[in-house]
Amino acid sequence: MPGMHHHAMPSASASMPADMPGMDGMAGSGDGLSDAAGGYRMTAATADVMPGMAMPYRFTITGPDGRPVTDFAVEQTKRLHFYAIRSDLTGFQHLHPTMAADGTWTAGLPVLAPGAWRLFATFTPSAGKQDLVLSRTLTVPGTVRATPLPEPAASAGVDGYTVSVRAELTAGKAGPLTVAVARGGVPVTDLEPYLGTYAHLTAFHAGDQALAHLHPETAAAAEGGTGGTEGKGGGPELAFHAELPEPGDWRLFLQFRAGGTLHTAALTLRVAG
Ligand SMILES: [Cu+2]
């Protein structure tokens, strides 16, 4: 069984804390929109992407010594989290690639719609203890049908559930963000643990696809275990500590487990400047 976190839930951070030590010259890297930061680099062989086909995506994280990193700290029960998002902020994928002994990661990408994609890896090398977000782009050939970003909304539906988000955020300032899950107008109180929490929230900035990961303020009981302090599931309200670094619209993807199934709701949140 995967352990709980090697450290307590950090208070909120966007992709990379601004006060990270030893990050000189990294201006602009806090949004994850670079393949290199802090001496670490995400490398991948250029793959020929076949439209309409699922494909494995292989990549490596190299360290300051140029060698592949194989020792990663566990964050939210995983050593590395992988996200894919298209430039219009559709097609969200949250995957957990597997690592070979030589440090090569393989993410099983599903069929991706044609367009420009950004693939993010978030991880913490055991050496250094920096939370890093690196990304690379991937172009899927074909006719691109862009979806306009939906207008900001306070709630979104998914699989019969309604997810409501309460937040009044100003760019670059930490603030509370509350998520509530209901079904048929009734608050859901039996959310099941997912990645060590009751909800996983990822945000992408409209226009540049910058990534922010919002951390919940409460951890869940151990997944499938009995060691948790709570005998029941989570909900209906979940508190996050949010800090979104840029003003404008962000697309939030909220993932939660209920009824034995993982659900993903999405809504647009406007952040004041
Ligand atoms: Cu993950």
Q: What is the pLDDT of residues 152-185, one digit of tens each?
A: 999 999 999 999 999 999 999 999 999 999 999 9
Paired strand residues for 109: 55
43 pLDDT above the threshold of 70: yes
CA of 248 to the centre of ligand 1 (A): 25
2 pLDDT above the threshold of 50: no
Rounded to two decimals, the pTM is: 0.84
Percent of the chain with pLDDT over 90: 68
Q: What is the pLDDT of residues 99-113, one digit of tens each?
A: 999 999 999 999 999
CA of 83 to the centre of ligand 1 (A): 8
* Mean per-residue pLDDT of the chain: 85
CA of 82 to the centre of ligand 1 (A): 6
30 pLDDT above the threshold of 90: no
CA of 221 to the centre of ligand 1 (A): 17
Q: What is the pLDDT of residues 256-272, one digit of tens each?
A: 999 999 999 999 999 99
CA of 156 to the centre of ligand 1 (A): 22
The domains of the chain, with CATH numbers, are 4-140 (2.60.40.1930), 155-271 (2.60.40.1930)
252 pLDDT above the threshold of 70: yes
Q: What is the pLDDT of residues 131-161, one digit of tens each?
A: 999 999 999 999 999 999 999 999 999 999 9
